[in-house]
Amino acid sequence: MTLVDTPATTTGGPALTQERRLVTAIPGPRSQELMNRKAAAVAAGVGHTLPISVVAAGGGVVVDADGNSLIDLGSGIAVTGVGNSAPRVVEAVSAQLNAFTHTCFTVSPYEGYVAVAEKLNELTPGDHEKRSALFNSGAEAVENAIKIARHYTKKQAVVAFDHAYHGRTNLTMGLTAKNIPYKNGFGPFAPEVYRAPLSYPFRDGGLDGREAAARAITMIEKQIGAENLAAIIIEPIQGEGGFIVPAAGFLPALVEWAQANDVVFIADEVQTGFARTGAWFASEHEGIVPDVIVTAKGIAGGLPLSAVTGRAEIMDSAMAGGLGGTYAGSPIACAAALATIETYEQDGLVERAKEIGSVLIGRLNALRTADPRIGDVRGRGAMVAIELVDPATGAPDAALTNKVAKFAHEHGVILLTCGTYGNVIRFLPPLTISDELLVEGLGVIAEGLKQA
């Protein structure tokens, strides 16, 4: 076993050799040692996709304690769009650490928070007057978006969609569709949450976007009533639910209906936001302007931060003191967010996401032509997935999906699965990955499919 040196750069981030390198089996002995300690110390409910012991990460690789270097096709679930330990983020966070670490923004404020809010108001879709509020996690921001919508409309019901994922807190579990593992045994869930049918082109029997929206709206009108409905919340492209891109026209029809009925339209862009889909926000692909937009994952280069951004009249409805949190909008996370946003802008990462998308879609479509088990290739920018099926029946093939993911892990590729039926392989590489590594990673997956 050889451990390769990873010299630190002046900006702090490790200058890692951008290569897939296996020097032990995955997981190796040091990773296994950590997993043994973990099993005795950490709650079993906290699981792992790939049980390695990470010591460094950057560019397009993650390095473990055994000296293996893995190709990162997950970005810690769409978080490190700018890469791990991105130089500007390291610098900004270090400076903030040396200045002050915490005051609580609602006790004594600081500029970073305000600057992040200004940036969010500028970058999110729509040129109306906006306000933002910052939080720590995606789920916390979703909860606050619902709080705000209820306060503003003075109504209570909330509609989420089939296959939705909005988090793990009580309200967001209720909004999330999938039972195992997210909800099973964790109820009761919050009241006044309803579920509407989605547009899922691969499994919708040819419904177009407008027809799928009409189906959802009829259900909402008949079973809830617009006069009781505070908000519709939807991911413009569903994440955990299977990277489902709704048919064109679905989202605009929902937005139109919501606006005509005093219902707040909330776009959960926690996974799709910040350059990931080849636009700043996925709402842009459909030309929609959400009333409220929720962001998190890609916002701060790996530091915990989330945000709710929306129309000023909606966001300003809650009284002073009604929104906040001890750590919400931490100065360190805000410094990271400003440096992260600057990195997306300065390094052309929106464009880079599009290029990554062309490589992914091109190669995956080529694989699909030769392999009918790949039922669908879909996604936008650097958020792409394949849905694996039984070619004879179209039935979801979760077993095949797990085999391919296991093969990828054993061969040094961090690969995530998703989907209500567990049969979707998703690609979420950092936007700093090289084409060479990306193509090599795809080659491993192709080989995994062949051997499965």
Residues that bind ligand PLP (CB under 6 A): 137-139, 142, 165-167, 235, 239-240, 268, 270-271, 296
Identify whether the C-beta of residue 271 lies closer than 8 Å to the C-beta of residue 164. no
Please say which residue, 30 or 276, places its beta carbon nearer to ligand PLP: 276
Q: How far is the CB of 8 from ligand PLP (least distance, A)?
A: 29
Residue-by-residue DSSP string for 79-147: T-TT-TT-HHHHHHHHHHHHH-S---TTTS--HHHHHHHHHHHHHSS--S-EEEEEESSHHHHHHHHHH
Please say which residue, 10 or 184, places its beta carbon nearer to ligand PLP: 184
> 125-158 b/e with 16+ CB inside 10 Å = b?
bbeeebbbbbbbbbbbbbbbbbbbbbbbbebebb
C-beta contacts of 345-354 below 8 A and 24+ residues apart = 347/82, 349/81, 349/82, 349/275, 349/431, 349/432, 350/275, 350/278, 350/279, 350/280, 351/278, 352/275, 352/382, 352/431, 353/81, 353/275, 353/276, 353/277, 353/278, 353/381, 353/382, 353/431, 354/278, 354/381
Q: How far is the CB of 175 from ligand PLP (least distance, A)?
A: 9
Q: How far is the CB of 137 from ligand PLP (least distance, A)?
A: 4
Query: Which tokens hold the place of 394?
Result: 């179209």
Instruction: Give the Cα separation of 356 and 180 in Å (integer).
Output: 32
DSSP-assigned beta bridge partners for residue 378 = 385
Q: How far is the CB of 393 from ligand PLP (least distance, A)?
A: 30
Q: Hey, is 16 helix, strand or coil?
A: coil
Q: How far is the CB of 138 from ligand PLP (least distance, A)?
A: 2
Cα Dmax for the chain: 66
Please give the single-letter amino acid code of residue 14: P
Q: How far is the CB of 395 from ligand PLP (least distance, A)?
A: 26
Q: How far is the CB of 299 from ligand PLP (least distance, A)?
A: 10
Q: How far is the CB of 139 from ligand PLP (least distance, A)?
A: 3
CB hemisphere CA count around 113 (13 angstroms):
23
Q: How far is the CB of 270 from ligand PLP (least distance, A)?
A: 4
Q: Shortest CA distance to 24 belongs to which of 70, 72, 66, 62? A: 66
Q: What angle do CA 147, 262, 224 make, to 5 degrees?
A: 80
Q: What does the DSSP 8-state code read for residue 300?
A: S
Please give the single-letter amino acid code of residue 210: R
Instruction: Give the Cα separation of 252 and 376 in Å (integer).
Output: 24
Q: How far is the CB of 271 from ligand PLP (least distance, A)?
A: 3
Query: Which tokens hold the place of 134?
Result: 């910052």
Instruction: Give the Cα separation of 426 and 239 in Å (integer).
Output: 9
Identify whether the C-beta of residue 267 lies closer than 8 Å to the C-beta of residue 244. no
Q: How far is the CB of 324 from ligand PLP (least distance, A)?
A: 17
Please say which residue, 26 or 332, places its beta carbon nearer to ligand PLP: 332
Give the dihedral of Cα atoms 385, 387, 391, 394; nearest 10 deg.
Answer: -140
